[in-house]
């Protein structure tokens, strides 16, 4: 059974960074095969993982919509979408990546989204770990990917406003009726002065924190991948303190 970890949080809190750090740790520990899903249209998970992505699920669906004649004769539209989704999975170092691209514009895409969810369910079965990097509104998660996750990690910065927003995201996940086994709070760019009470008020199970790390900043400035981070990096040590809670399944 694949183990699904979904990341959520306001823009800029560090979802993509945390997603790639988790991927790097799972890879380092050789815990199994990993599929990363970039479900944030403004995201850069590919860059963080050092994988060049040329097509996304969004562009594939747009293309099929604009040129239905391109569906090979003898192939159903459903089968063609499944095939194209598989083709859009890019192989990287220890991790494969699927980019969801832009969500659909106005109009009813219910049929396509249902087909897509079916294709995603099949794809996910091939991997031990699925890491989904979401946008704040959880749009893709609700419509196009799986609606279930073993762990939802809401990433927040170490501010009162940030934590309030984390609590709202938890509520949003509930409203959208996601089948989430555990919801966690992760405080990124941690500040020890942050009151524990504020963390408690979010109602989320506190997973742990990550410090501000200048090496992460440097990677980002140079456009390098998380795999370029030294194994002895401080931030990886911080992750080890709570990582076990995620990959030791119970
Ligand atoms: N712990 C950290 N230490 C240093 N820089 C960080 C840290 N977490 C995130 N960043 C930087 O902050 C910026 C935003 O992070 P990102 O992961 O892209 O956020 P999000 O995906 O939530 O929008 C990036 O440039 C990233 O490199
Ligand atoms: Mg991001």
CA 17 – ligand 1 centroid, Å: 5
The answer to whether residues 52 and 45 touch, using CB atoms and an 8 Å cutoff, is no
What is the predicted pLDDT for the residue at 33?
Answer: 97
Q: Name the residue at shortest CA distance from atom 16 of ligand 1.
A: 14
Separation CA 179–CA 176 (nearest Å): 9
Q: What pLDDT is attached to residue 19? A: 97
Pairing of strands 89-91, 96-99: antiparallel
Pick from 92, 94, 71: nearest CA to 83: 71
The residue nearest atom 1 of ligand 1, judged by CA position, is 212
How many other CB atoms are there within 10 angstroms of residue 165's CB atom?
19
Is it the case that residue 138 has pLDDT exceeding 80? Answer: no
The span from the CA of 110 to the CA of 218, in Å, is 42
For residues 191-213, average pLDDT? 96
Give 102's pLDDT tier (boundaries 50, 70, 90): confident
Which residues are close to ligand 2, an ion, with C-beta < 5 A? 15-16, 40, 43
Average pLDDT over residues 198-220: 96
> Which whole number is the average pLDDT over 114-125?
88
Say if residue 75's pLDDT is above 80: yes
Q: What is the pLDDT of residue 152?
A: 94
Please give the Cα distance from 24 to 107 (Å, whole number).
39
CA of 42 to the centre of ligand 2 (A): 7
- Residue 9 Cα to ligand 2 middle (Å): 9
pLDDT band at 213 (very low <50, low <70, confident <90, very high): very high
The burial of 145, by beta-carbon neighbours within 10 Å (0-12 exposed, 13-18 middle, 19 or more buried), is given as buried
Rounded to 10 degrees, what is the CA torsion of 121, 45, 26, 172? Answer: -60
Nearest protein CA to atom 15 of ligand 1, as residue: 14
pLDDT computed for residue 104 by the predictor: 67
pLDDT band at residue 137, thresholds of 50, 70 and 90? Answer: confident
pLDDT at 186 over 70: yes
Which of ligand 1's atoms lies nearest the C-alpha of 20?
17
Rounded distance between C-alpha atoms, residue 156 and residue 201, angstroms = 13
Contacts of 165 (CB under 8 A, 6+ apart): 9, 10, 156
Strands 96-99 and 205-210: unpaired
Identify the weakest region by mean pLDDT among 13-22, 113-122, 185-194: 113-122
Separation of 175 CA from ligand 1 center, angstroms? 27
Give, for ligand 1, the residue of 12, 209, 225, 228 to mutate: max count of ligand atoms closer than 8 Å to Cβ. Answer: 12
Q: To test the ligand 1 pocket, which listed residue (10, 11, 17, 238) has its Cβ within 8 A of the most ligand atoms? A: 17
Ligand 1 neighbours (beta carbon < 6 A): 9, 11-17, 188-189, 210, 212-213, 216-217, 220
User: How do strand 148-156 and strand 34-39 relate by DSSP bridges?
Assistant: unpaired
pLDDT (average), residues 135-144: 71
Sorted by where each starts, the structural domains of the chain and their CATH numbers stand as 3-247 (3.40.50.300)
Angle, CA of 9, 34 and 204, to the nearest 5°: 30
Which one of 216, 223, 235 would you pick to mutate in the ligand 1 pocket, going by the greatest count of ligand atoms within 8 A of its CB? 216
């Amino acid at each position: 059974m694949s183990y699904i970890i979904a990341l959520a949080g306001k823009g800029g809190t560090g979802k993509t960074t945390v997603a790639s750090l988790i991927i790097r740790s799972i890879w380092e520990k050789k815990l199994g095969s990993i599929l990363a899903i970039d479900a944030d249209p403004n995201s850069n998970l590919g860059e963080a993982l050092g994988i060049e992505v040329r097509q996304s699920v969004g562009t594939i669906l747009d293309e099929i919509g604009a040129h239905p004649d391109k569906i090979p004769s003898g192939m159903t539209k459903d089968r063609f979408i499944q095939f194209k989704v598989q083709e859009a999975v890019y192989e990287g170092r220890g991790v494969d990546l699927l980019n969801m691209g832009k969500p659909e514009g106005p109009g009813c895409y219910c049929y396509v989204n249902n087909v897509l969810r079916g294709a995603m369910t099949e794809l996910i079965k091939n991997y031990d770990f699925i890491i989904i990097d979401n946008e704040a509104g959880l749009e893709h998660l609700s419509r196009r990917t799986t609606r279930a996750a073993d762990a939802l990690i809401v990433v927040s910065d170490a501010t009162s406003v940030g934590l309030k927003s984390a609590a709202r995201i938890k509520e949003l996940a509930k409203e959208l009726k996601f089948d989430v086994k555990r919801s966690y709070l992760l405080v990124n760019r941690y500040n020890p002065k942050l009151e524990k009470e504020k963390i408690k008020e979010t109602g989320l199970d506190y997973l742990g924190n990550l410090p501000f790390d200048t090496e992460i900043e440097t990677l980002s400035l140079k456009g390098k991948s998380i795999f370029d981070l030294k194994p002895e990096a401080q931030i990886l040590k911080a992750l080890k303190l709570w990582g076990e809670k995620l990959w030791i399944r119970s």
